[in-house]
Homo-oligomer: A and B are copies of this chain.
């Protein structure tokens, strides 16, 4: 058994250098071998899908010749050449990725839509993570962990983010409420006092329905946090801690509500994990408890399913 991966002097053939090798060695090849080499160089992906016999037929040669060519290119046999070919194909494939920067067009095929959306959301995550002020985040976490109760405000798409945060906090035993009704939000905000936490989620930072309850909470002495894409927007006036989310560029087919959500959720997750860490002794049992409670609702079948 060797199946070595020695890389010393002449070593194992480089994956990318294959095209070069073909050109270099072509002159010293016999006619049949050249045909094989050419096929391999011109369509790595296609050839990777072929067996020895297939490639032999394609090039009008024999299996023996294919193997000989593989040897000449520096591989122990055709099998290894084929693997290298697959690698090369994959590289070429992924190489032509950067067409993603374009905006989503009305006539984009569905596969492009998926790729572009995924790419954009990844970008948003990276940007948000990079731009997040960990000091502010830490302060917000500290406040949350110690809070008597927490209110979260958000309307529209941000309302769902608010609910997501609330669900999570409840899950680790905190007292949290999400409000998307502006009136109720204000009504409840009046109840807050020092030691409580109020969180406003709004992408624009200018959503009156969310600013108002935060203002009330702020004036009541609660610790206030704003999760917004605009660090200079009105909502920050009443926020003790501002957590900034980044946004991908928007467009007609990709409204702000869509791209902002991704960043907001990352922030929310960070808050959650941060709090869970600080209150680990309480959080850990609570987490497993809620997990177990749910297990019953998951189908008659056991965990592994079928």
Contacts and interface: CB of A to CB of B under 8 A. Distances in A.
Given A90-B90, A91-B91, A160-B164, A28 B230 contact: no
> In this complex, which of A111, A234, A299 has the most chain B Cβ atoms within 10 angstroms of its Cβ?
A299
Interface string A253-278: 11100100110011001101110110
**Consensus secondary structure, chain A interface:** helix
A204 B296 CA distance: 13
**Copies of this chain in its oligomeric complex:** 2
A54 B88 contact: no
Interface of A: 1, 3-5, 14-16, 27-28, 45-46, 48-51, 53-54, 82-84, 86-91, 93-95, 104, 106-108, 110-111, 113-115, 117-118, 121-122, 125-126, 128-129, 132, 134, 137-138, 141, 156-157, 160, 163-164, 167-168, 171, 204-209, 211, 230, 232-234, 252-255, 258, 261-262, 265-266, 269-270, 272-274, 276-277, 280, 284, 287-288, 291, 294, 297-301, 303-306
A265 B262 CA distance: 9
Contact of A305 (B28, B106, B209): B28
Contact of A253 (B51, B204, B276, B297): B276
9 contacts: A4-B49, A5-B45, A5-B46, A15-B86, A115-B129, A157-B164, A230-B306, A234-B305, A262-B265
